[in-house]
Structure 1
Amino acid sequence: MTPACAASPAGDAPGRRAAWCGTWLLLAAALLTLCGASVGSTGFDSLLRMRTDPVAWQIVCDIRLPRTLGAWLAGALLGLAGAVAQGLFRNPLADPYLLGSASGAALGVTVAMAWFGVSALATPWLARIGTAGMAFAGAVLAVLLTLLLARGVQHTLRLLLAGVVVGVVLGALRDLVQLASPDILRAVHAFALGSTAFVGWAACALMAAAWGLCGVLAWTLARALDALTLGEATAASLGLPLTPMRAGLVAAMALATAVAVAQTGLIAFVGLAAPHLLRSLVRVTHARHILLSSFMGALLLLAADILARWLLAPQELPVGVLTAALGGSYLLWLMHRRTVQAGGA
């Protein structure tokens, strides 16, 4: 994949290089989708027996395919949110969870699990919302609290600090709820490790709608990110309405992160590593960078999900463990390479 993305002639326009890279990322995703439909305890047999065996049909169409597509969509949402975060904060270490959405989602899930077994009054409406709904609500409330504490989106540094504070406070509240209900520790830990095992077609439809909405919004407002690379003063002198554009980008990042986390749990490093990996292949404007980072994040999470199902089959590894190990290793290698290059220069 790397040679194909980087093999375009130097004289080609950035749009042509981006088109080639996006094409190869989508082709790789299609190949991995076929692999995802065949990975399981019955292997390729289920694919071969789909026409004659209703059980094989159900395994492939109701379990493997929605899980595979769900991994692609969740990765696409996280990759998109990571590219927006790094452009908005002008920080290569920014990730989608900076605004406290991860801690808010974890708190929402923890409260839901605790109340399901503790509070009889809370059970009826919590049962209708479900843990995914509570995770989404917790992530959105955390972002709103961050915006309130930062007094809007005018100052990115204040927004960043507010997100860190909100994340720490909500994480402490989650720990207190777990201490009060120790029987939910295992379930909350599973959510924190991330999994695509429970993704169905309804969740895929929801993530696809969120990805389309966030992608259009981020693409439309990407000019603000291009302007911010020149500095706040220069961006303001260009006549762009930076405050509403920042608000729209924050909304896209928060919605994408909240939807992905609500359906798959806390999956680490996809949103952080995808923009870095893409930047090492092709340099484009933020509009194309956001879209291609979304494709890259989708490919990373899809590959990690297939590995999580295949490495210890029939047992499964938490996909968040693989993404953290692989993503962290890649970033360490990238830092080492840049250090060596800087020392050689």
Structure 2
Amino acid sequence: MPPPAPSPTAAIATAPDALPPDPPAKGVRSRLASRAGLAATCAALLLVLLVSVVVAIGLGSAVVTPGDTARLLWAALSGGSIDADEVTTYQIIWQIRTPRVLLAALVGAGLSAVGVAIQALVRNALADPFVLGVSSGASVGAVGVTVTGGLAALGIYAVSAGAFIGALVASVLVYAASASRGGGLSPLRLVLTGVAMALGFQAVMSVIIYFAPDSEATSMVLYWTMGSFGAASWGALPVVAACVLLGLAVLYRYSRALDVLALGDETATSLGISPDRHRKGLLLLASLITGVMVAVSGAISFVGLVMPHLVRMVVGATHARVLAVAPLVGAVFMVWVDLVSRTLVAPRELPLGVITALVGVPVFIALMRRKGYMFGGR
């Protein structure tokens, strides 16, 4: 009588090498490929940003070739020498254009990252710092300091301090007005309260401008509230860089929490995430970053609204990926927006908010009209 055939279980047990590893291995390979793709995307964007910065620094009323621009920048960074006939060009490159272009990159990165965070914490695809009233509050603080001369003891940081105080006050008021009796924060109430507060702060800013002491102050404030990097300097750059880069690092650390918050409060609570606590912290962080940026650049619209949507369509809705790519895309975009603003109608400058709105409105409408497009991707 022939021996019985081995059972499938016995066959597997006696031949462990025959176990099919394809599904888990495929998943690992997919994750590695995804990470490699993300790293390659970020590296490419960093290269594009570097090239954009060098080109933007060289272009203007006095055009400097990218090679000469890079050489003069290296001389400034390394302490090298330059020819006597290049002193004026060197001063234009290093003292005027470089801090302005770097500031544009930082503000673009900060606005994009804050837009990602706010859209997640209120679960609203139309949210950005303007919708929650943070930008309007920062504008009121900065305009108030500019017109009245308050906080003069802080020197060059007076306007920045005023903008941050205004953003913080706006955040506190929005939080206090939108919180329920139990202390919870409803995303819908937060958005509606933010919109109402933004209109109120804009009215206050109009009153301040109306009672400005002279017409020159009024025109300066009106121009500044539409966005400009004309006041960029090396003195203000370290504070902005520290706040924006630190804010980006903190937001990236909380990317998983943002993923959960975007799913809803009930899901977040079931997974051990406190929605109210995270909203409070993220709102405070958004106020800090927005206040600093508004202080040095004025109110720039549509960057924090459109950039997150564009990035999600390319890399997906996972916030770790979006927060890695969106700041780079925003930085590149803002560098070129600033270049257009100061060269298109030179020697005059176009307000940054005009250009971002002209670009942002049709792009956003096109995104919304895409078949199947929804918050978080297709």
TM-score normalised by the chain length of structure 2: 0.79
More helix by share: 1
Equivalent-residue separation in structure 2 for 1:123 and 1:249 (angstroms):
27
Q: Does 1:163 align with 2:194?
A: yes
Aligned to 1:47: 69
Letter in 1 for 2:283: V
Equivalent-residue separation in structure 1 for 2:57 and 2:88 (angstroms):
14
1:10-159 equivalence runs, <5 A? 13-44=33-64, 47=69, 50=72, 51-52=82-83, 53-116=86-149, 124-125=152-153, 130-151=158-179, 154-159=185-190
Aligned to 2:269: 236
Aligned to 1:5: none
CA contact (8 A) 1:274 1:297 kept: yes
* Cα distance change on mapping 1:219 and 1:126 into 2, 3 Å: closer
Q: 1:129, CA displacement in angstroms?
A: 5.1
* Cα distance change on mapping 1:134 and 1:225 into 2, 3 Å: same
Q: 1:155, CA displacement in angstroms?
A: 2.1
Equivalent-residue separation in structure 2 for 1:93 and 1:73 (angstroms):
23
- Larger CA deviation: 101-110 vs 52-61: 101-110
- Larger CA deviation: 253-262 vs 128-137: 128-137
Equivalent-residue separation in structure 2 for 1:282 and 1:189 (angstroms):
38
**Number of corresponding residues:** 328
Aligned to 2:229: 196
Aligned to 1:261: 294
- Structure with larger RCO (C-alpha < 8 A, sep 6+): 1
Equivalent-residue separation in structure 1 for 2:138 and 2:266 (angstroms):
36
Letter in 1 for 2:204: L
Letter in 2 for 1:42: A
Percent identity reads 34
Letter in 1 for 2:189: R
Aligned to 1:302: 335
Q: 1:62, CA displacement in angstroms?
A: 0.9
Root mean square deviation of aligned Cα: 2.6
CA contact (8 A) 2:138 2:290 kept: no
Listed as ranges, the gaps of 5+ residues in structure 2 are 1-28, 73-81
Q: Does 1:172 align with 2:203?
A: yes
Work out which of the residue numbers 259, 267, 281 in structure 1 matches 2:314: 281
TM-score normalised by the chain length of structure 1: 0.86
Equivalent-residue separation in structure 2 for 1:253 and 1:18 (angstroms):
25
Listed as ranges, the gaps of 5+ residues in structure 1 are 1-8, 117-121
Letter in 2 for 1:149: A
Q: 1:313, CA displacement in angstroms?
A: 3.0
